Amino acid sequence: MKNTLNIFAILLVGTFVFLSAINYMADNIEDYETVPLPPKKARTITSHNPVIKVDATSRNAWTLVDFSSGETYTIEDLEHEKDKLKLYPWDIGFQRTKIITNGGLTNPHGSVGVKNLGSIDIDTVNVVPKTGYLQDEKSFGKVLNKAIASWYLYRTRTHNIESQKNVYTVRMADGGYMKMRILNYYCGREESECRSFMCTREEAACYFIEYVLSQDNGKFVSAPILSQTKTPVPKTAN
């Protein structure tokens, strides 16, 4: 009998404490609502080589990137602003998952071409390939560059985009060359985070691109790998 009374007393006290806490929270709910949530920590994709971040989030406009200077230009309507394409010293254009280059059918006045070297270590590419560069052409009703058009994998389970991490060499608008690799497609997440759940469209279309410009002697000099040195924050191309 005594044990039963003790258990009952404990339950009664516990119930009183629980109800008191609920009442306190209900009376002070405005205080809880006004407390700001901690900001989401944005991930920065880095490499020991230079990295540029390209904002390609628009579904209408194209972001044209001049990799030699890091400058960008915007074309609001590609079909109706064709004349502007030959005014800017751009190399590659981005719009969501679509990529165009400054040459071929997109701009006959441009000389940019792309060569796909496949999934290799970018630092092993030391010499500029002289041949094998493709320019934009029409394929199945779309204007694209076949060397780089299939740069990503589409995950049907989570509907996310994931770069194949292929290495490309690019014959640039200024006559020079570069090697590049698309590291990531999401603005605040690493692609690997989107393998287990669906990342939103609002988080997509921020390219992180690793690139190295060629030297005058036609060779690439990658930055040394320093394991204990912080990598600089990448440039941002809007």
| Pairwise CA distance, residues 206 & 199, whole Å | 13
| Pairwise CA distance, residues 70 & 53, whole Å | 10
Residues 60, 29 share a domain: no
Residues 116, 11 share a domain: no
Q: By residue range, what is the domain housing residue 16?
A: 2-34
Name the amino acid, one letter, at 60. N
> Does 82 reside within a domain?
yes
Residues 127, 190 share a domain: yes
Instruction: Give tens-digit pLDDT for 173-219.
Output: 999 999 999 999 999 888 888 887 778 888 899 999 999 999 999 99
Residues 9, 59 share a domain: no
Residues 192, 148 share a domain: yes
Residues 86, 143 share a domain: yes
Residues 26, 67 share a domain: no
Residues 203, 163 share a domain: yes
> Does 229 reside within a domain?
yes
Instruction: Give tens-digit pLDDT for 38-83.
Output: 555 556 678 899 999 999 999 999 999 999 999 999 999 888 888 8
pLDDT band at 233 (very low <50, low <70, confident <90, very high): very low
> Does 206 reside within a domain?
yes
Residues 27, 84 share a domain: no
Identify the pLDDT of residue 155.
84
- Tally Cβ neighbours within 10 Å of residue 11: 10
| Pairwise CA distance, residues 208 & 85, whole Å | 23
Mean pLDDT of the chain: 84
Domain tally for the chain? 2
